[in-house]
């Protein structure tokens, strides 16, 4: 869990690679992490608002395409 904690802190600091890695972990899950598509979506949506990085935009579009319909990811 220390590794996840470090990735989360780096993602919070705005490191694009950490954001993308955290989204991958949240989307796919691991032995210790239950997948959380809503959290992954919120993380990506927030990141593209804060950063104008092409990798983030590509990851966002790809994520949305893979997880249709988008309404299931939105908070009610």
Structure tokens at 51: 């950063």
For the cut 50, the answer to whether the pLDDT of residue 39 exceeds it is yes
Closest CA to 40 of 76, 2, 56, 3: 56
Q: Which residues contact 38 (CB under 8 A, 6 or more apart)?
A: 73, 75
Note the pLDDT of residue 76.
47
- Mapping DSSP to helix (H, G, I), strand (E, B) and coil, where does residue 50 land? helix
pTM, to two decimals: 0.83
> Which is nearest to 36 in space by CA: 24, 47, 26, 45?
26
Predicted pLDDT of residue 75: 60
- The count of domains in the chain is 1
Domain span at 50: 2-72
């Amino acid at each position: 869990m220390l590794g996840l904690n470090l990735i989360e802190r780096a993602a919070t600091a705005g490191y694009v690679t950490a954001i993308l890695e955290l989204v991958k972990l949240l989307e796919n899950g691991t032995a210790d992490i239950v997948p959380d598509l809503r959290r992954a979506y919120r993380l990506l949506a927030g990141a593209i608002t804060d950063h104008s990085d092409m990798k983030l935009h590509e990851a966002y579009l790809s994520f949305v395409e893979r997880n249709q319909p988008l309404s299931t990811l939105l908070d009610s």
